Structure 1
Amino acid sequence: MKPNTKARADATTIKISEAKTHLSDLLARVEAGEEFVIARGNDPVAHLTAVRN
């Protein structure tokens, strides 16, 4: 199965190493409404977004 390689146009793309280094800051920004795509190289692998209740 091929992974979904479409990144969201409204999300900021960051590298895995940057996400690891700044995870606490990223989570605070996600809580404030931002969204991020985490990429390995140029390939998006995860979408970081807030959980909606």
Structure 2
Amino acid sequence: MLLDRIVALVALATLAGYLGIFVFSVPRAALFVVTGVVLCLAFYDFWNQIFRQGRK
């Protein structure tokens, strides 16, 4: 259970790092928006999976 959360957190951090490098390499306004939406959705899914475990 804890290992799953750690792996998910590492994956989320890796995604954020990759998108951060990508955004600063190609500075476009639309890319900032898309990256923000992707990170928000990924964080929401991560957050939802953490707290959904207690509701089962």
Q: TM-score range by the shorter chain?
A: 0.3 to 0.5
**Considering only CA atoms, is the larger Rg found in Structure 1 or Structure 2?**
2
Q: Which structure shows the higher strand fraction?
A: 1
Q: TM-score, normalised by structure 1?
A: 0.32
